Amino acid sequence: MEKIDKRTSAGRWKLFAVLAVCAAPMVFSYLAYYVIKPGGRTNYGTILDSRLYPMPKLGGSLLGGEAKELDSYSGKWLLLQVDSGACAAPCQKKLYDMRQLRLTQGKEMDRLERVWLITDNQPVDTVLIRAFDGTRMLKVDLTALKKWLPTEENTQLNDHIFMIDPRGNLMMRFPKDADPQKMKKDIAKLLRASAIG
């Protein structure tokens, strides 16, 4: 009887050892990603030091001509793009991406505003206004904008989408031709983190 108990006990230990060996890679991968975070960076966009980029007055106006400054949208996260009123294909792609990124946040989407800063006097196509209904469109002073928004090397303002926090701090810049799936993860993390406390 004692021999059977010893064999049963030894068999159990062997089974636990096999299970531990099989589970180890998955356990270590979770630890590495969520605890150790190799390379120290899990965000896709570039985090900016908001102290270096205080929001200026941009001499903004709505398409109808009424004065409107960007800081009037404080209290919400802003997805911000910069482009000509002519809005060629890359501009339309960014408008589309911003709309979809907002929608993919589900119940959190009302915490996001989409803003298009228009840098010239080119008329905005009515079809475009309707297609991206809900996007805030402001005509602004390009000189003030260039002094404020930082770009990556060999890029222009209209290559990026920026994020501004609810207090009006410029805090993230996405790369040229940004991957919407990776942007979505960054935005979800920011919304989740800012909802705590």
Q: Tell me: do 9 and 56 sit in the same domain.
A: no
Q: Is the dihedral of CA 24, 29, 30, 34 positive or negative?
A: positive
Q: Tell me: do 35 and 50 sit in the same domain.
A: no
Q: Tell me: do 66 and 30 sit in the same domain.
A: no
Alpha helices in 79-169 (DSSP H): 89-103, 126-131, 142-148
73-97 residue pLDDT tens: 999 999 999 999 999 999 999 999 9
Please state the domain count of the chain: 2
- Tokens encoding 50: 């908001």
Q: Tell me: do 92 and 52 sit in the same domain.
A: yes
Q: Tell me: do 32 and 55 sit in the same domain.
A: no
Q: Tell me: do 85 and 168 sit in the same domain.
A: yes
CA distance linking residue 190 with residue 197, whole number of Å = 13
Domain that holds residue 90: 46-195
H-run or E-run covering 9? helix 2-31
| pLDDT value, residue 11 | 75
Q: Tell me: do 17 and 100 sit in the same domain.
A: no
| pLDDT value, residue 197 | 45
176-186 residue pLDDT tens: 999 999 999 99
Q: Tell me: do 66 and 112 sit in the same domain.
A: yes
Q: Is the pTM of this model over 0.85?
A: no
Length of the chain: 197
Q: Tell me: do 142 and 182 sit in the same domain.
A: yes
Q: Tell me: do 31 and 73 sit in the same domain.
A: no
CB atoms within 10 A of CB 73: 19
pLDDT tens, per residue, the chain with 197 residues = 555 666 777 777 777 777 776 665 555 554 554 555 555 568 999 999 989 999 999 999 999 999 999 999 999 999 999 999 999 999 999 999 999 999 999 999 999 999 999 999 999 999 999 999 999 999 999 999 999 999 999 999 999 999 999 999 999 999 999 999 999 999 999 999 887 64
CB atoms within 10 A of CB 35: 7
Strand-pairing partners, residue 47, are 172
Q: What is the CATH classification number for the domain harbouring 133?
A: 3.40.30.10
Q: Tell me: do 34 and 65 sit in the same domain.
A: no
| pLDDT value, residue 8 | 75
Q: Tell me: do 169 and 99 sit in the same domain.
A: yes
